[in-house]
């Protein structure tokens, strides 16, 4: 198995379990890793947007990587998020990730200033050359800087620039697939759960799931297997049912991951706490989430 084929399948963008005081809940990290791998997830991605990476100091990031790597125990490939606002800071995070066993690193372009395509290309070439760990780029909806398909084509010729996580519209995903999706030396990863089944139908072989990957990994696996086995109508039914759950779940609280964490608390995996000042789910909202998850037979 080549390094890039290891990225095929479902990757969970892990939440970061926190205590009420805002510290990393170390035992809960291990429970979460066991839960998602037991649910059939292929790969782990730590310190992405779902993991609230931007709220953590460099020492905390290092500790989170250590905890996930220890809990993983080499069972699944490990992708580490290294996004930050300058090339030098990203290279620092890549060094930390590499020292702690990352198989790949993933980052957005720096986001403090608007960047041209040439500036983003120069950034990715430098971190690919100097970082020492294979690099996956990320077109993130929370970022103002996004790679265009022609830029990705140019970058994909570098042996250490190995993939792109595209989290945007179906049109953008289709354009990226046309540009690089069928290359053997590059992996295009769909990162938006609402395009999970359309991405599989398009021929994309790697997906990153945030909320669903943490809360309902077995459901994610079921859709993958149903589609892969040619049971397309069953996959469609399972996918639409998942969307119905997410549509209702994500309306509770101020951010989708707050609702996901509350669901994980109900399942005994971690606590519901978000990094301050993002508001965590209230008790009343948690009761609503419990009723919702029971109605979908998640609990």
pLDDT class of 3 with cuts at 50, 70, 90: confident
CATH number attached to the domain at 5-229? 3.20.20.70
Residue spans per domain, the chain:
5-229
pLDDT at 1: 38
pLDDT class of 223 with cuts at 50, 70, 90: very high
Q: Is the pLDDT of residue 26 over 70?
A: yes
- Per-residue pLDDT reduced to its tens digit, 48-60: 999 999 999 999 9
- Per-residue pLDDT reduced to its tens digit, 101-154: 999 999 999 999 999 999 999 999 999 999 999 999 999 998 999 999 999 999
- Per-residue pLDDT reduced to its tens digit, 187-197: 999 999 999 99
- 107, 79 contact by CB (below 8 A): no
- 170, 195 contact by CB (below 8 A): yes
Q: Is the pLDDT of residue 226 over 50?
A: yes
**Furthest-apart CA pair in the chain: how many Å?**
52
Distance CA 78, CA 72 (A): 8
Higher pLDDT, 168 or 149: 149
Q: Is the pLDDT of residue 242 over 60?
A: yes
The residue count for the chain: 299
Residue 189 forms beta bridges with which residues? Answer: 165, 206
Pair type for strands 187-190 and 161-166: parallel
- Per-residue pLDDT reduced to its tens digit, 61-88: 999 999 999 999 999 999 999 999 999 9
Distance CA 82, CA 143 (A): 14
Region 276-297: mean pLDDT is 98
Q: Is the pLDDT of residue 231 over 70?
A: yes
Give percent of the chain with pLDDT exceeding 70: 99
Region 12-37: mean pLDDT is 98
Residue 112 CB contacts under 8 Å (≥ 6 apart), including other chains: 85, 86
| Residue 73 burial (10 A CB sphere; 0-12, 13-18, 19+) | exposed
Give the closest residue to 5 by CA, choosing from 105, 104, 101, 82. Answer: 104
Q: Is the pLDDT of residue 2 over 60?
A: no
Q: Phi/psi of residue 11, each to 5°? A: -115, 130
Name the average pLDDT for the chain.
97
């Amino acid at each position: 198995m080549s390094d890039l084929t290891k990225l095929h399948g479902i990757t969970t963008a892990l939440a970061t379990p926190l205590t009420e005081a805002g510290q990393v809940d170390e035992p809960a990290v291990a429970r979460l890793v066991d839960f998602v791998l037991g649910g059939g997830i292929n790969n782990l991605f730590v310190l992405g947007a779902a993991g609230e990476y931007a709220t953590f100091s460099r020492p905390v990031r290092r500790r989170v990587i250590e905890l996930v790597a220890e809990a993983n125990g080499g069972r699944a490939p490990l992708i580490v998020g290294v996004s930050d606002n300058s090339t030098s800071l990203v290279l620092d995070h890549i060094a930390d990730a590499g020292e702690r066993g990352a198989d790949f690193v993933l980052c957005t372009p720096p986001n403090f200033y608007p960047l041209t395509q040439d500036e983003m290309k120069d950034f990715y070439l430098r971190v690919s050359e100097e970082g020492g760990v294979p690099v996956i780029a990320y077109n993130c909806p929370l970022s103002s800087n996004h790679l265009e398909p022609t830029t990705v084509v140019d970058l994909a010729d570098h042996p250490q620039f190995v993939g792109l996580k595209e989290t945007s519209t179906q049109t953008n995903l289709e354009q990226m697939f046309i540009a690089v999706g069928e290359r053997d030396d590059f992996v295009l990863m769909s990162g938006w759960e609402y395009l999970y089944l359309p991405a599989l139908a398009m021929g994309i072989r790697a997906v990153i799931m945030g909320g669903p990957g943490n809360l309902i990994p077995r459901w994610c696996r079921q859709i993958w297997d149903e589609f892969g086995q040619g049971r397309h109508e069953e996959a469609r039914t399972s996918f639409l049912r998942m969307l119905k759950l997410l549509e209702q779940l994500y309306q509770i609280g101020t951010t989708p991951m707050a609702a996901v964490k509350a669901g994980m608390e109900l399942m005994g995996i971690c606590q519901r706490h978000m990094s301050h000042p993002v508001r965590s789910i209230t008790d009343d909202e948690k009761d609503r989430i419990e009723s919702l998850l029971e109605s979908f037979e998640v609990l």
